Structure 1
Amino acid sequence: MTRNRLPTLFEVLSRRTHPPVDLFSFYIYMRDQQRSVDYLDFWLDVAQHMSLCRHYVRELRRSVLVGTPDLEKDQDKRSSMALEALGDFNSSPAGPSHYATEKEREQNAQMSAYLREQQPHTPGTYHDSPSSSQEHRTRSSMQLGTPHQLTSDSTSPAHAVSREDIRASAEKILYTFLLPGAEREITLPGSITQDITIAIEQDGRDDPEVFDVAKDYVFQAMERDAFPGFLRARALGNLIPPTIIARLIIGLVSIFGGFWTSFILIFLDRSRLDRCYVILPFTIGVYLLASYQYSLDPLMALLGFTEYTPFKFSRIREPYVRKLLVKRSIMVLAVTVLVDAALCVLFILVPGKRL
């Protein structure tokens, strides 16, 4: 997409943006700076769960249209009619409820109602997928928390999805993120966690609507607490906190060295030509302190690079962000030149006096 604005959180989560405001960069920001990557992993797992449900229902619907014998064994006429009424699922990513169109909301509600209607009454027994010969294949990983998987545009599994896969996905989300004392427990209102636990463990539900309230809550929390800081860090700057602190320290040392050298040369009454050497420490110090102040390395931004982990850089590929960083870089360079010139002129042209 070509946009003349900064992206929204939903656009980042649905992989519609490019570095440095893509999903991978947001994942690193949540992990290294916000220290709340579990919320993002929960969102990604719920989105993957929605994708599994869509894939499963899409396969069943395809089987209805071609009239496979396998489906006739497992689904009655009423179920077939319900599948046909669902229509084709679009390829739009799973998002918060208020972002969906009316058609998507209706379709997702119908899909969840169908899955609830078809859920078995006896725990542990589930309808097979239409491709029953593939039901014992090794399940692909549903965890989207690794960097190389975050760059993929597709979350659809490469193999046939069975009802057991959907149930396993729902239980995995519950036991990993929601139950008290879970490995990666996230903080949610108690009523939300309790409702999800009862729905999955007691009612046997595994449809996507089980997680809708929690998904919307997590999305709003990330949009309110984490995303503004992410845009400030990645769209208005191109440095990470460790690098920023290092530039502050080196810049202060360099500025101190410049003042120390200047006063020595002034009180030794050295010539103005000799005092021109203070340009070097002053320039380095002012440049690094300006980079610290604006969290931006202007020269690196003008070359089109951004830092996302220590000593690792990537190209700036989001057009609007590139334009924004170029403007800020020119402004930072102008401030650097003015301050540096003022310091150098002051300490070079001031009359010397030998003590």
Structure 2
Amino acid sequence: MADHNTPSPQPDLHRNRLPSLFEVLSRRTLAPVDLFYFYIYMRDQQRSVDYLDFWLDVAQHMSMCRHYVRELRRSVMIGTPDGDKSASKRSSAMLEGLGDLNHGGPSIYPSDKEKNQDAQMSAYLRQEAQHAANTGHSPAGSTGSNNMRQTSSNDRPRPSFMSSPHVLTTSDSNSPEHTVARADIRASAEKILYTYLLPGAEREIQLPHAITHEITAGIEEQGRDDPELFDAAKDYVFQAMERDAFPGFLRAKALGNLVPPSVLMRLVIGLLSMFAAFWVAFILVFLDYGRRTRLWLILPFTIGVYALCSQQYSLDPILALLGFSEYTFMNFNRIREPFVRKLLNKRAIMVLGVTIFIDACLVVLFVFVPGKRL
């Protein structure tokens, strides 16, 4: 029997490579390449967070369906009245053959066994919905659309309202806290349709017309709410994110540790510092100040070169060596992904080397150049 307290997949701390998008969405990675950072990136830099929200909502719908079927299967196996009332012998046999249904992820990734389980689960939900439509009664476990029991998906805040990088890593999409009613599944499917897919929807995403039409017809005309209905859309969105957004996310978070506003701020600081450094340097040279006095030029030159190198590489080397990465402007979180930590440390040392070399060249040039009073 499935354990409803099964934890989410654990991060792979021995991964000696950058993670895949599937691993990020499955919460198998750590900061700064985890789901929280990816959500912030999609929201603030890619400006396409609706696609990620759609994927997460469809994944939540799949988890809700699995939880509902697991509960129904358990009630059938132990012979409760709910189990007797909910299905025929054929349905009971189908439920018993489903297994634990504890896997997750987009439909292009599961094993053949998991695909078969998901297909059987969707077939069962379609059969149940069709039976309810023929008899004119709500499916088993339904409390009605006006008296729906809340699931944990509605209890938890959406990531768009989160301010802490730790919130997304604590949820368990396979373990809703409350019993899922059949009407909850229907409401979840309709919410996805009305929020993302219908023309003029609040957060409409662009999908091929054939996919949108199939989902719309399935929900509104055929009464479907099984997760298989969303497979094509979910896979299309996954591949679009993997192709268009994820490479940029890895470049930003695995090769750098700054967000665009911080990069711009360092550019401004660097240019101002370099302007001040050159201005003071020429004044000291043409007023024939001594070399000891001109050594103070190391301060503005160091600030300017450091800021411009940080801007050029989108990497603050000191913060990286201290183990911090920025997720929003001036908000930092520790780097916990081992491979990314090593990668950023190497780049930080390289950036520091470039900074020290350029800084030393400029300081030596203006300290040892002969002075001449004009």
Name the TM-score, length of structure 2 as normaliser. Answer: 0.90
Alignment match of 2:101 (pick from 89, 97, 100): 89
Which contiguous aligned blocks of 4+ residues in structure 1 show a shift greater than 4 angstroms?
A: 122-125
Judge conservation of contact 1:307–1:314 (CA < 8 Å) in 2.
yes
1:279 CA drift (Å): 0.7
Correspondence list, 1:330-341, <5 A:
330-341=349-360
1:29 CA drift (Å): 0.5
Q: Could you tell me which residue of structure 2 aligns to residue 113 of structure 1?
A: 123
2:235 & 2:212 partners in 1: Cα distance?
13
Structure 2 SS opposite 1:173: helix
- Greater mean alpha carbon deviation, residues 75-84 or residues 325-334: 75-84
Q: Could you tell me which residue of structure 1 aligns to residue 297 of structure 2?
A: 278
Structure 1 SS opposite 2:225: coil
1:122 CA drift (Å): 5.4
1:349 CA drift (Å): 0.3
Q: Could you tell me which residue of structure 2 aligns to residue 102 of structure 1?
A: 112
Change (3 A) 1:124 1:193: farther
Structure 1 SS opposite 2:178: coil
Matched residue type, 2:123: A
Q: Could you tell me which residue of structure 2 aligns to residue 152 of structure 1?
A: 170
Q: Where do 5+ consecutive residues of structure 2 fail to align?
A: 1-11
1:141 & 1:104 partners in 2: Cα distance?
23
The answer to whether residue 238 in structure 2 is matched with residue 219 in structure 1 is yes
The answer to whether residue 317 in structure 2 is matched with residue 293 in structure 1 is no
Alignment match of 1:13 (pick from 4, 20, 25): 25
Q: Could you tell me which residue of structure 1 aligns to residue 55 of structure 2?
A: 43
Q: Could you tell me which residue of structure 1 aligns to residue 5 of structure 2?
A: none
1:259 & 1:36 partners in 2: Cα distance?
43
2:273 & 2:178 partners in 1: Cα distance?
59
2:134 & 2:117 partners in 1: Cα distance?
27
2:282 & 2:290 partners in 1: Cα distance?
13
Matched residue type, 1:222: M
Judge conservation of contact 1:123–1:204 (CA < 8 Å) in 2.
no
2:201 & 2:142 partners in 1: Cα distance?
34
Correspondence list, 1:71-220, <5 A:
71-90=83-102, 92-93=103-104, 95-119=105-129, 120-121=132-133, 125-129=137-141, 137-142=149-154, 144-145=158-159, 146-147=161-162, 150-155=168-173, 156-220=175-239
Q: Where do 5+ consecutive residues of structure 1 fail to align?
A: none
Structure 1 SS opposite 2:327: strand
Change (3 A) 1:131 1:170: closer
The answer to whether residue 349 in structure 2 is matched with residue 353 in structure 1 is no
The answer to whether residue 269 in structure 2 is matched with residue 254 in structure 1 is no
1:190 CA drift (Å): 1.1
Judge conservation of contact 1:19–1:317 (CA < 8 Å) in 2.
yes
Change (3 A) 1:183 1:66: same
1:153 CA drift (Å): 3.7
1:69 CA drift (Å): 1.9
Matched residue type, 2:113: K
* Superposition RMSD in Å: 1.8
1:73 CA drift (Å): 2.1
Correspondence list, 1:301-320, <5 A:
301-320=320-339
Residue by residue over 1:54-111, the C-alpha shift from the partner in whole angstroms, topping out at 9 and shown as x without a partner, is: 0011011101110112221231111111111112222x22x22221111111110111
Identity, % of aligned positions: 67
1:141 CA drift (Å): 3.9
1:76 & 1:158 partners in 2: Cα distance?
28
1:26 & 1:323 partners in 2: Cα distance?
20
Q: Could you tell me which residue of structure 1 aligns to residue 362 of structure 2?
A: 343
Structure 1 SS opposite 2:97: helix
Name the TM-score, length of structure 1 as normaliser. Answer: 0.95
